[in-house]
Every structure is written in structure tokens, then in C-alpha cells.
Structure 1
Amino acid sequence: MKGRQEQLLLGASGVLLAFGACEAVSRAGVVRRSYLPPASEVLARAMELAGDPVFLDGIAATLRAWALGLALACAIAVPVGLVLGSVPVVDAAARAIVEFLRPLPSVALIPLVSLLLGSGTETKVALVTYASVWPILFNTVYGLGESDPLAKETLRAFGFGRLSVLLRVELPGTAPFIAAGIRISAAVALILAVATEILSGFGEGLGIFIAQAGLATDGTRDVLAGVVWAGVLGLVINGVLVWGERRLFPWTPGRRGVG
């Protein structure tokens, strides 16, 4: 508990230091206010947006695409990862395809996906899903490789089949790795949801608000306020997922001693 409090204190100190530096740079005129408004004004605008129903509807649209894309990524990546990690023949057959698709940047696929699916939530969900699949998939495969071999051999010695070993030993042992992959993918999914909105320029969402503010004559403050909201969403999502991991998997090495 003490270590966690120290981390929170250090994190708060870092935020205050960055806030003060941005405020001082802008107030001192080192950077023109049209390029970098004072941090206090950006924060005030971000809090003002919290009472804007249209802005909140955009936040909700972004979070819907994020949640749908992440859920689909989990539904695809976990079963596929279990198969790839459990059946060497399938892994060898699919390895070339996986290694070909993995490096493709999701943002570069926006024109193609937009052409196929049109504008709206479908495009965002498709791109979020594609980008979010990989961390979960590879964490699942890696987790299977780290399963306790003694426990698996013991079950086999008692006559348990391949499926029973998977369900009783490998899947529980892989669950913390899957959870870590989901946490990584959650951040990737949020980035893709906002970036797709910014680059595509259609629909509604936090990215649309940022893109439209960037086109305004004096929209830097709104752009930065939108960025603050994106950061807050990422921070909250990560915090919730970390809390869930600590509660679900307290025995993992990274969670031992955490009160």
C-alpha cells in the first residue's frame, strides 16, 4: 500500500510539474498563445466541455466504437491464440499470414475500409478490432508457452485428454497474460478510435471534435482540451483494467505484495 501511495504521489508531482511548465512557457511569451494557450485555460475549457451535451455525445460515440472493437478483438484473438499456441501444425501454417498482417498499420487501412464499409461506426469498429487483435493474440500464445509443464503431464498421466488439460491448466495459467494483452489493446483501441475519427473526417466522436477545432481560426485551445479528454479516458480505462487484474490475479509475480 505504501509503495502504491508513493507512485501516486510521484505521478501527481509529474503532472503538476508538466502543468506548471506549460503554464509558465505560455505566460512568459516564449510561445505564442495562439500556438500554446496557458494550461489553466485549456483545463478550464476541458471542464467546460464536460457540461456540453453535444461533446459528451461525441465521447459516447468514441467509447462505443472502442468497446465494440475491443470486444470483437477479444472474441477473435483469444480462441485463435489458443489454437495457435496449442496446435503446432496450425501455428506453422498460419505463421506467414500472421507475420504479414501484423505490421500493416491500421491507419493506412482507413481509405480501404471506408470504401468497403462506408462512413460511421462500422469503419471505426473494424479498424479498432484489427489493431487490437495482435497484443491479445500474441499474449495468449506466449501465455500458453509459459504453462506449467508438470501440471500438464500430471493430468495426462491420470488420463485427462487434450481439451481437459487446456481448460484445467493452460487456460487458467494463460488468463493473466490474456488480461495484460487486453490492457495493452485497450490503449491501442482508444488511439485508433480517435485517430480514425480525426483522419476520416466523418461521423461523430472525440476525434471529430479535435479535427473540427483544428480547422477553426482560434481552435488550439479546443484541440488541446480534446487531447486532455483523450488522455483522461486512457488513464481511467487503464486504471480500471489494472485494478481488475489485481483483483482477479493476485498470485501473479507483478501483483504480489500489492495491498
Structure 2
Amino acid sequence: MRPVTRGLVGLAVFLLIWEVVGRSGITERRFLPPPSDVLGSLGEILVDGKFQSDVVATVLALVVSVAIAVLIAVPLGLLLGSFPVARHATRAVVEFLRPIPSVAFIPLAVVMLGVGPETKITLAVYAAVWPILFNTIYALDEVEDLHLETARAFGYSRVRTILSISLPSAVPFVLTGVRLASSIGLVVLISTEMIAGGRLGIGTFINVAREGAGRMDLLLAATVVAGAIGYLVNAAFDVAQRRWVSWSSLTRSAS
């Protein structure tokens, strides 16, 4: 049985169990609606113009957040990975900031930036920077010494060596970091939308759905959409990495 088929079988079994539990009366149906109800609600919100705007707002914020994180983390990772003095000098600060969850900064960000898209994008950038940064730094540790020595023998400057030797070698690791950062960024965006509010976003929709009477079916349907976005983004990066960074595939095959 192929991995995809096994995955579909596992998903079908999970949905079947959920359907049975949802209809059995073990829990109230309004608290745990079965997948059939969620599927109907999913069809309802997918044609809703307001929800479509929420999805677009979250996806655009994710694209902007990851792009900014790449522009920050890759050059900084190349700098810290190439110059040990800078790496050791900033280690304490980096190790102090990295474990702090982005959601802990939501009150501060709301006070400073308000409840607009700037708040969620800033927090998502903060969360997305770390996997890209560390993947870039550690990628430079894997560069073959022979390549660096050859560059020095040909009189390459440090900057030229970084751009022509270190950066191309780090690309597969950077893309892996971007894949991780995209998933983390999506979680932070939706969490910020739920906690800090705002006019648009999947998190805002979920926040509204859980208030009042509590439409758990709509909440779960929106959650399914968020999961689908995360899956598609991850799959897109995986395809791009396999297609455009061919040497990373060769390396995996050789190992």
C-alpha cells in the first residue's frame, strides 16, 4: 500500500470514528458536531464573501510575514554563520529571545501598533525568523572545507566566498527553514487574530463563531480551511525544493 493510500485510509478511519462519536450522544452535538455537519458548514462558508475576505487577509499576511522573515534571517544567518566572533557575541541575546512565544508580545504589540494587520504581521515575522536563521547558520557549518579552501586559493574575498560558495550550499537548508517558518507564522497569525481581534482574518472569523450561541460547526469548518492552507503551503515548498534545488535531492539519495 502506497504512503498516500495509507494516509487516506487513516484519515477515513479518523473521520468515521469522529462521525460515530458525534452522533452517539456521548457529547452534545452542538459541542462536537460530526464531520457531516462540518462539511455542510464548510460548503456554506466557502461561498461566503466575508469569509473569503478573511482567508485572503490571512494568506496575504502570511506571504508578507514570511518574505520579511527571509529578508531578515538569511543575511543575518550568513553573517553569524560566517563570522564566529559575531556569532559568539550575539549568542546570549539570541538564546534569550528565541524561546519567548510571539503571543506573549500581543499586549505590547497592540499598545504600540493597534489591532491592524501590522500587529499580526510583526508577531508572525518574529516567530518565523528563528527557524530560517538557525537553519542558515547551521547550513554554513556543513559547507565542505575543501570548497572554502579552494575559494581562498583563488583569492576570493570573504563576501564573494559567502555569496558564491556558502549561500548556494545553504539554499536547501534555508528552504526547509522557510517551510517550518510558514507553518509557525500561520499559527501565530490566526492566534493573534483570535486574541487581538481585527477586522479581517480566519482567526477573527473563528472568534466570532465561538461567541454568542457558539457555532462550533463553523469554527471547525474554518479550522479545516486553516489546516488546508498550511498543508498546501508546505506542499508547495516541498515541490519547489525538489524541483529547483536538485542537489538537495541528490544528497538525500546518496545518504
- TM superposition score normalised by structure 1: 0.94
- Choose which of 230, 236, 242 in structure 2 pairs with 1:240: 236
2:6 is equivalent to residue 10 of structure 1: yes
Deviation at 1:122, TM superposition (A): 0.4
Contact 2:242 2:249 in 1 (8 A): no
- The residue type equivalent to 2:124 in the other structure is V
Q: Which residue of 2 aligns with 1:105?
A: 101
Q: Which residue of 1 aligns with 2:146?
A: 150
Which whole-Å CA distance do the structure 2 matches of 1:215 and 1:195 have between them? 16
Q: Tell me, which stretches of 5 or more residues in structure 2 are unaligned? A: none
Which whole-Å CA distance do the structure 2 matches of 1:218 and 1:128 have between them? 28
2:175 is equivalent to residue 179 of structure 1: yes
- The residue type equivalent to 1:111 in the other structure is P
Which whole-Å CA distance do the structure 2 matches of 1:236 and 1:21 have between them? 25
2:16 is equivalent to residue 24 of structure 1: no
Which whole-Å CA distance do the structure 2 matches of 1:178 and 1:217 have between them? 45
Name the Cα RMSD after superposition.
1.4
* Distance change (3 Å), C-alpha of 1:254 and 1:238: farther
- Choose which of 164, 170, 176 in structure 2 pairs with 1:168: 164
Where has structure 1 moved over 2 Å in runs of 4 or more?
Answer: 253-257
Deviation at 1:256, TM superposition (A): 5.0
Residue aligned with 2:246, SS: coil
Contact 1:26 1:33 in 2 (8 A): yes
Q: How does 1:42-57 map to 2 (within 5 A)?
A: 42-57=38-53
Which whole-Å CA distance do the structure 2 matches of 1:8 and 1:193 have between them? 29
Contact 2:22 2:33 in 1 (8 A): yes
Q: In the TM superposition, what whole-angstrom CA distance separates every residue of 1:222-245 from its partner, at most 9, and x where no partner exists?
A: 111111111111111111111111
Which whole-Å CA distance do the structure 2 matches of 1:255 and 1:148 have between them? 13
2:214 is equivalent to residue 203 of structure 1: no
Deviation at 1:48, TM superposition (A): 1.9
Which whole-Å CA distance do the structure 2 matches of 1:255 and 1:231 have between them? 30
* Aligned residue-pair number: 253
2:65 is equivalent to residue 69 of structure 1: yes
Q: Which residue of 2 aligns with 1:115?
A: 111
Which whole-Å CA distance do the structure 1 matches of 2:171 and 2:252 have between them? 16
2:45 is equivalent to residue 85 of structure 1: no
- TM superposition score normalised by structure 2: 0.95
